[in-house]
Amino acid sequence: MTAPDGLRAVDVLTVVSVTGPTPTVRRVVLTGTAEAVAAAGPTVNLLVPRVGDPAPRWPQVARDGRIVWPAGAHGVALRSYTARRQDPVRGEVEVDFVLHGDGPAAAWAAAAAPGAVLAVGGSGDLGVRPAAALLLAGDETALPAISRILAEASPAATGLALVEVAGPEEEQPLAAPPGVTVRWLHRGSTPPGESALLADAVAALDPPAGGDVFAWVGAESAAVRTIRADLRSRWGLGRAQHHAIGYWRRGRAMAPAG
């Protein structure tokens, strides 16, 4: 409900289950109202409280979507994630969190158990556009997005999805159109964000024949910059033909926790 000052409360979601589809991924199923679930994706700005905080001081949302933080310390961090699945009828949204260390979101996911809460501060689209030929490139943080893009792509689409993960144990089943090949890249013991696998794999590709191409890239920021430059120069992709954004930055938090 919107108050006279134009601010509304954020939608709070409650954890119903936590599983581990792979060693470094926590799959968290959250429940909320049908409206909250429908609005929580495909990309979702999660408001992540401190681990174990039973009564987080949530911000509010202004009419224009701006987040209005409470005064003083609140311990809530804003982080971008992807709703891997949204089911408003069941009132469920599913988010895969990569466990990478002690950032607020990774720490929250590592400790998440039924009954834990987080909130939704906004949402957005995946930035993908339909095209006859697709190139998708991402690391494990982009796997939920790539999984949705492939599931929603035209059955006639052709192309390639390149996914960088640590090893075979981190691969997940992906339902792709028959004309789209999924290629897993294993960085082995190289730490995330330090391998050139994705950029090298894109650099080795020739642009597809015909102009109806769309490239989608989500990974560590430096890798994305390299790939974006390659696709713009060598493939000649214009702005409407690609969406390439840094999903995380090596050595830097996405934003300070409040």
Per-residue interface string for the shown chain with ligand FAD, residues 176-205, x marking contact by CB under 6 A: ----------------xx------------
**Whole-number Å distance between alpha carbons of 183 and 172:** 12
**Binding region for ligand FAD (CB under 6 A) out of 8-16, 56-64, 72-80, 111-119:** 72-80
The distance of closest approach from Cβ of residue 141 to ligand FAD in the complex, given in angstroms and rounded to an integer, is 4
The CB-nearest residue to ligand FAD is: 103
48 or 133: CB nearest ligand FAD: 48
Q: Is 109 helix (H, G, I), strand (E, B) or coil?
A: helix
Q: 77 burial class (0-12, 13-18, 19+ CB within 10 angstroms)? A: buried
> Any contact of residue 170 with ligand FAD (CB under 6 A)?
no
Contact 152, 125 (CB under 8 A): no
| Residue of 58, 214, 216, 248 interacting with ligand FAD (CB under 6 A) | 248
CA distances from 246 to 94, 145, 217 (A): 22, 13, 8
Residue 164: beta bridge partners?
139, 185
**Binding region for ligand FAD (CB under 6 A) out of 78-86, 164-172, 196-204, 233-241:** 78-86
- The count of C-alpha atoms lying within 13 angstroms of the C-alpha of 111, restricted to the half-sphere facing its C-beta, is 16
> Looking at residue 34, what DSSP letter applies?
H
| Residue of 43, 86, 123, 195 interacting with ligand FAD (CB under 6 A) | 43
Q: 185 burial class (0-12, 13-18, 19+ CB within 10 angstroms)? A: middle
| Residue of 103, 121, 159, 208 interacting with ligand FAD (CB under 6 A) | 103
Positions that interact with ligand FAD (CB under 6 A): 43, 77, 79-82, 96-98, 100-101, 103-106, 141, 144, 192-193, 247-254
